[in-house]
Amino acid sequence: MRILVVQDADWGAKGPHQQHHLFERLQIMGHHIRIIDYETFWKRNLTGGILARRKEYYASGKVVSTSRLLVVRPTMLRIPLLCYLTTLLFNYFEIRKQISEFRPDVIVGWGLLSSLVSLRVAKEYGIPFVFYVIDSLHSLIPERLFRGVGLFIERYLASHADKVFVISKYLAEYVHRLGTPKDRIHVLSAGVDFNRFNPQIDGKAIRSRYGIRNDDIVLFFMGNMFPFSGLKELAEELIERSDAPNVKLLLLGRGELFSELEELGKKPKARGRIVLVDWVDYDDVPMYVAAADLTLLPAQANKTMQYALPIKTYEYLACGKPLITTKLPGMIKEFGSNSGVLYVDSASEIVDLAIELQSHPEILRQISESAVQFVRPLDWCKLTRRFERLLERTIRENETRPHSSSEIFG
């Protein structure tokens, strides 16, 4: 199977995300994968001028060390707003070029603009197009003015794609409301690499490195520290809680709040209770998770986060670490109760819950066991094989139906 993946993001800059887990494994299984990506963070690096010319490179595996995927980045203008127009134009020519040279059996789109072009060209050549949805995409557009246009594109993609794959039940309902018939929607949740994340991982070295005692209660967060992440509110609450001196925040990652959290950590009341760590290698992440007593997703339930279902939540649970999250609709729909996930109304409630759980070790142990049991069926290898079968079925179905450009223009 030859799969062309087209996305509105830099393949190598972040992750591993859903696509890295799936396509790196598919390549190892013998399939041919090619990526068309986009320079997400071009504003941070204008080396080479405003015209970024087409380039190709091989990306080393983020989750499978032996994987090497060819990534193609089309030409673009590094100018606000014009970058979107040039993405539409040059992606169109690049996808046609890849169809001629690579001859994909299926095109998988992640994002809005790249998927819009991919759908157009796929219909032109009679190639099945799969729209992969991991979020409410229009709500992520930085320029609020364009979110209405983004929603229009999202509706169009949802209603015209041959198949729509989503990562949660809540997103399945969302794309159905956008116009996707239920028989075209497939839920393929995130998974766990149990060789990396499991209850046997030892986090003592990490606790020792940052001066965390055995009787300390460690609350762990990993990821981008957005203003709506709830971390600032939680840190401020923790600092004011003189009755909880042994509760500590271990925060791994970067983001807009990083500097503010650093300043909060310097306050006399903090007394080393906020530990900030920059990004580490993915292979080292399990030790940080293992160092925690409880893990966190304290985000505000805004439009960006209401559908959120980060891969890291599954990895936390696989290590037997209960997850405390605010009442995000996507999380509630997917995890429900008895899954190792505990819900609070706001970040400020987390400290009280952590203290209560620590005083009831038997309850904490039961929640931990529930967490491991919940994610046990979600092995990435099994999920990849299911993804493979769904793609193969999509290709077979496409071969049995007539094709016409009127599908997209009519």
For the chain, domain boundaries: 2-191+381-409, 204-375
CATH 3.40.640.10 for domain 204-375, yes or no, is no
Residues 6+ apart with CB under 8 A from 157: 109, 112, 115, 116, 119, 131
Share of the chain above pLDDT 90, in %: 70
Say what the pLDDT of residue 150 is. 84
pLDDT at 408 over 50: no
Say what the pLDDT of residue 403 is. 56
Q: What pLDDT band is residue 410 in, cutting at 50, 70 and 90?
A: very low
379-393: buried (b, 16+ CB within 10 Å) or exposed (e) per residue? bbeebbeebbeebee
Please give the distance of CA 123 from its chain centroid, rounded to a whole number: 28
Per-residue pLDDT tens digits for 112-143: 989 999 999 999 999 999 999 988 777 777 77
Ordered DSSP codes for 368-406? HHHHHHHHTT-BHHHHHHHHHHHHHHHHHHHHTS---TH
Residue 361 CA to residue 357 CA, distance in Å, equals 7
Residues 6+ apart with CB under 8 A from 394: 106, 128, 130, 162, 163
Domain 2-191+381-409 and domain 204-375, same fold? Reply is yes
Residues 6+ apart with CB under 8 A from 388: 1, 26, 29, 31
User: Residue 14: which of 221, 312, 301, 315 has the closest Cα?
Assistant: 312
Q: What integer best gives the mean pLDDT of the chain?
A: 91
User: Residue 225: which of 299, 282, 280 has the closest Cα?
Assistant: 299
Homologous superfamily, domain 2-191+381-409: Glycogen Phosphorylase B; (3.40.50.2000)
Say what the pLDDT of residue 406 is. 45
Better-predicted residue by pLDDT, 240 or 291: 291
Dihedral sign for Cα 253, 377, 344, 187, please: positive
Residue 345 CA to residue 131 CA, distance in Å, equals 33
Per-residue pLDDT tens digits for 152-183: 999 999 999 999 999 999 999 999 999 999 99
Residues 390/119, Cβ–Cβ less than 8 Å: no
What is residue 341's three-state secondary structure?
A: strand
Q: What is the mean pLDDT of residues 98-111?
A: 96
Residues 6+ apart with CB under 8 A from 53: 75
pLDDT at 405 over 70: no
Q: What pLDDT band is residue 409 in, cutting at 50, 70 and 90?
A: very low
Say what the pLDDT of residue 311 is. 92
Residues 6+ apart with CB under 8 A from 192: 314, 315, 317, 318, 375, 378, 379, 380
